[in-house]
Structure 1
Amino acid sequence: MGVGLVHRAVAHRARTRPDALAVVDGSTRLDYATLDAAADAWAAGLTAAGADPGTLVPVLLPRSARLYVALLAVLKCGAGYAALDPRWPRERIESVLGQLGGPVLVTDSGETAEEASGKWFGPWPVWQPPSGFDEFANAAATHGASGFHAYDGPSDVPATVFFTSGTSGAPKGVVSPHAATTRLFTAEGPLAFGPGTVMLQAAPSSWDAFSLELWGTLTTGGTCVTAAEDYLLPDTLRELIDTCGVDTAWLTSSLFNLFTEIDPDCFRGLRGLYIGGERLSAAHVGQFLDAHPGTRLFNGYGPVESCVFATVHPITAADCAAEHGVPIGRPVPGTRVHVLDEAGRECPPGVTGELCVSGAGLALGYLGDPDLTAARFTAHPSSGIRLYRTGDHGLKDADGVLHFTGRTDRQVKIRGYRIEPEEIEAHAAELPGITHCVAVPVPGQLGNYDRLALFYTSAAETDEDPVLLRRSLSLRLPAHAVPDVVRRVRRLPVTANGKVDRSELLATLDG
């Protein structure tokens, strides 16, 4: 049996607790038996459409029960899925589809398969899932066997591809295996949700946080509750706590700060709240702990290359006064975090180095980019084990708790999204009228970056309209990567060593 397979863990729950509530999506309620039966039936259709073991299948559906079943069906085929955000610009979707080169696109466009196949990248074969679940509920009630034999091989095969910002301008695909997800939710770890847990699903499906919300729930026997709106608001969180019994949630630190400021009571009823994605605000954390002493608050840290979290820290009031901010904690099950100096040696406690991750959570690599894979996934100099070099700086204290201290490159987190300024610059440089440009993250009051500015020069005598330039970028980039400010300058100032003076550019924003 394929130990560590996502769909096998869900099927186990369907066998042992078939009537337990698995998914809530508005008026749609799926128990585990219905969820598994529907996924079996859809997997049979996908297999006939070419979704074979080892293939990568793009899925373009809005957040919904139908999306969850489609993803589970892809995994049952032995294929890996790439969940694409329908809000992405068409150019980005086409770029991603071109990289995947999969056998079929799963979508629900409301068109015929023939019409939909011509809408996207080339003559793409389309498979549209059925519209309802009643027939599968009946099959589940009679305990009918589907006859479909789900993939049952090793768990180190691709389960999903997460697309994130890339320095070349093209989205970067991170290929993650089943074991990277299932290792998170073992009984001895801080993410052992289990039956009775009711978790909010609000993250975009293209994020690895989506795996936390969906598979963290469904592989452990909990209930996944869908937030219908594209952007989570405090009122929505409050309503789903009150009406659906949501007791566990994940928020980026930016959203956590915002909710704490405008509606601190919206968290009432949660048993556990996971936050992260950026450095935490000690002031907001302290305010939350004072207001909600019965809610366990966790800081989760990890790059997408280690799927969701590499470390988790249960936050206490004392952490708000820590020298380097709220700690990022200790490794999750199946994961080790190494602090290495420039020579690749393990740093002693209290000494800062690069945070490198090893273990079952590591991605298989970057889709179609063996050079980048070889550069970022390397061998430990002494033990030879496979490492991912995060580019983050940090240290381990005398108690073995890890602390984040900064970055080694230009990559930043803004509103929880990983941003590569080079990606924005590459797209902007292709626009007519721009001769030189630089993307600069703008620091906020809390020490994080809260927006992105693009400064550019032009060969034309008249000003190009920055509004139009920003609109052009919105057709190429996902919404979170579109600069908040676009400004034309006569020149890009430089420092004494000839590098662009970003501080001088940021100073112009104060005017």
Structure 2
Amino acid sequence: MLFIKRFLDQVDEKPHLSAVADQLREITYEQLCSRARRAARVIAKISSEVMIGVAVNKSADYVVSVLAVHLLGRTVVPLDSHCPISRLKQMITSVDLSLCLVSRCQEDKLTDMLQASIRLIYIEDAIGEEDANDNAESTRSVEEEAPAYVVFTSGTTGKPKPVLMPYRALNTLIDGMAKATEPRGTTLLYASQGFDVSFQEIYATLCYGDRLLIVTDAQKKDLYALTEQLSKERVTRLFLPTSMLIPFVTFSLYEGVTLFDLSEVIVAGEQLKVTPIVRRWFKSHSRCRLINHYGPSETHVVMTCQLDNEPDDWPDLPPIGQLIAGSDAWLLDERLQPVATGCSGQLYISGRSLALGYYGMPELTSKSFITHPLTQERMYNTGDICVLNERAQYEYKGRHDRQYKVRGYRVELREVEVAVLASGLVDDCLVVASQLGLTTSLILYFTAPERGQDFSLSLHSHLAATLPEYMLPSFYRGIADIPLNQNGKIDTAKLPQVGGVRPRLSSNYVEPQGQLETLVCELAAECFGLDRIGANDNFMEAGANSFTLISMLAELRHVLGHSFRQTDLFEFPTPRLLCGNVQRSKEAPESKNSIASDTKRKLRSAAIHNTHGRMRGRHA
């Protein structure tokens, strides 16, 4: 069934139930639909363009905007305001966008850029006031092959690739997420606007009569605020990037937070790793299911694996799952011939979930979407190497090319290299992906005209203004030459090691002093995947990113019993500065963070002792 029809059925059946809640308001299904219909009529009067940009910040108005476009049977082009302006310009140009929905509370810098390029509609004006036509039918007939949304993925040319996903694919996904007769629940809208999972979160909720809860980006990045919202709002379903699962469960256990209402955690983006702390959390939340989803942007979700039985029996690396209805998979060799049972092959996907291709890129589309030589089906080359096990589940074994998932997003390493070379600061460069600490990290090796000069900070500044945060390298390393093997190909084995060993930083290594500094340095090294961190080392220079900083905050809050703010690691960016702030806070007479009893001191001392023991075990 058409997903937008499913939503309208819910409006008819449950008009007065809460549909969407954000920081400012909570609106019912009837109110949500009325606002979307008013906005749809405004869009229809102004333009007949198929592509409609949506640059509204994540809020109830963002959901209204998406619904309005889909009520018209048109295409949502989500524009995440957190992307650099230069990248947003590339996105707009790549799809010939001429109309965009924005909000009056948008940043002036973004609005000015959009206004200079395309026509704008303020969503507040489009929603307007209630009128007699609110209940008038505004849904247009929708062709299943029409594009429902565009997502942008990393590309080898240095420019984002616009993937056109049809209504057919989103219909298939939402049909596959049909609920049994379960109590009404609440789903968190966690994913960024430019991430395809956001459409899954919205429609898997609104098409089945549930409630969608929207959190701010600040709450999303602060595990304390996030878990508080999950508990307070009684969230039942949570979609998470795989790389956020371990920080999330670690914080929850350390803080002693039990999320009684949470019944489903769905992860996707990178290979799922089940660690002891993941098992421990799900044992303490026995009603909550862990579900692994798989699917590139060109197919969205095509496989799912629900981890049954006891958490102690879960595999360390679970399968990516079994096919959902409407999709087919093929494991083929380099000649597009089926591989033998139990052997690894390159994964190809066919069926109703396939994208239409890349907008304005016919050559790249024909290269990635090919015809099966036997069945003549159109299929997508995922580039993933997989094996089909005896339970008819696909197991991920690696990549065929230089695409990697970093914090849930696909990154084409060549795109980062193109951006580096565009800086004019280096002669040559190479980006590699490596599993360091808790996440997949990008390492940039570069050769520069002046070998005695370190361009790391200049390169980072250039890239931060060009690429989204998840594409930024965590480590920068100047080298004399890019190493080659006898065949003239790059020999990554000869690259100097980065990660595991403290990189060369702008400050010399300073030994930590005292128990507190030593603990913070060890925790930072553990989270960043390094052998050591000095007392005066800058966390960001040492390779920290948003995910490893979240993990570090969770560890620090647990071990020290101090209510760290999300901004503390930026305001006090070295272990010594951070420890100084903690000491000052504890010495303040009215500090709520001071340790007031012998019992608390003993508990924290035991926690510190246990943490030291755990770390020594990992580094051994």
2: CA distance, partners of 1:321 / 1:24:
38
Aligned-residue sequence identity (percent) comes to: 25
SS at match of 1:305: coil
Which segment drifts farther, 151-160 or 470-479? 151-160
- Letter matched to residue 441 of structure 2: R
User: Equivalent of 2:90, from 91, 95, 99?
Assistant: 95
Shift of 1:490: 2.2
Q: Does the alignment pair 1:335 with 2:327?
A: yes
2: CA distance, partners of 1:35 / 1:464:
54
Which segment drifts farther, 18-27 or 491-500? 491-500
SS at match of 2:497: helix
Shift of 1:102: 2.4
Could you say which residue in structure 1 is the equivalent of 2:604?
A: none
User: Equivalent of 1:305, from 298, 311, 318?
Assistant: 298
Q: Does the alignment pair 1:223 with 2:215?
A: no
Superposed, which structure 2 residues align to 1:195-234 within 5 Å?
A: 196-230=184-218, 231-234=220-223
SS at match of 2:141: coil
* Aligned CA distance change for structure 1 residues 489 and 248 (closer, same or farther; 3 Å): same
SS at match of 1:212: helix
Gaps of 5+ in 2: 503-620
Contact 1:19 1:31 in 2 (8 A): yes
What whole-Å deviation, never above 9, does each CA across 1:178-230 have from its counterpart, x for those lacking one? Answer: 121121222x6577797713101111010011112111111222111001124
Shift of 1:348: 4.4
Shift of 1:411: 0.8
Superposed, which structure 2 residues align to 1:27-426 within 5 Å?
A: 27-52=24-49, 55-110=50-105, 119-120=113-114, 122-130=116-124, 135-136=129-130, 145-147=134-136, 149-186=138-175, 189=177, 196-230=184-218, 231-264=220-253, 265=257, 267-283=259-275, 284-307=277-300, 309-316=301-308, 325-426=317-418
Q: CA RMSD in A?
A: 2.6
Shift of 1:40: 0.7
2: CA distance, partners of 1:100 / 1:267:
42
1: CA distance, partners of 2:336 / 2:287:
42
- Letter matched to residue 224 of structure 1: L
SS at match of 2:217: coil
* TM-score, structure 1 normalization: 0.90
> Which of the pair has more CA radius of gyration?
2
SS at match of 2:386: strand
2: CA distance, partners of 1:184 / 1:422:
31
* Aligned CA distance change for structure 1 residues 67 and 194 (closer, same or farther; 3 Å): farther
- Letter matched to residue 383 of structure 2: G
Which segment drifts farther, 14-23 or 258-267? 258-267
SS at match of 2:202: helix
Contact 1:252 1:277 in 2 (8 A): yes
Q: Does the alignment pair 1:432 with 2:432?
A: no
* Higher RCO (C-alpha 8 Å, min separation 6): 1
* Aligned CA distance change for structure 1 residues 7 and 467 (closer, same or farther; 3 Å): same
Contact 2:346 2:385 in 1 (8 A): yes
Could you say which residue in structure 1 is the equivalent of 2:484?
A: 494
Gaps of 5+ in 1: none
- Letter matched to residue 490 of structure 1: A
Shift of 1:41: 0.5
What whole-Å deviation, never above 9, does each CA across 1:33-62 have from its counterpart, x for those lacking one? Answer: 11111111001111122144xx11111111
Shift of 1:106: 1.3
Aligned residue-pair number: 496
* Aligned CA distance change for structure 1 residues 389 and 194 (closer, same or farther; 3 Å): farther
Contact 1:185 1:191 in 2 (8 A): no
Shift of 1:172: 0.8
Contact 1:275 1:298 in 2 (8 A): yes
Contact 1:395 1:402 in 2 (8 A): yes
**More strand by percentage:** 1
- Letter matched to residue 250 of structure 1: F
Shift of 1:148: 5.1
* Aligned CA distance change for structure 1 residues 116 and 468 (closer, same or farther; 3 Å): closer
**More helix by percentage:** 2
Q: Does the alignment pair 1:24 with 2:28?
A: no
SS at match of 1:246: coil
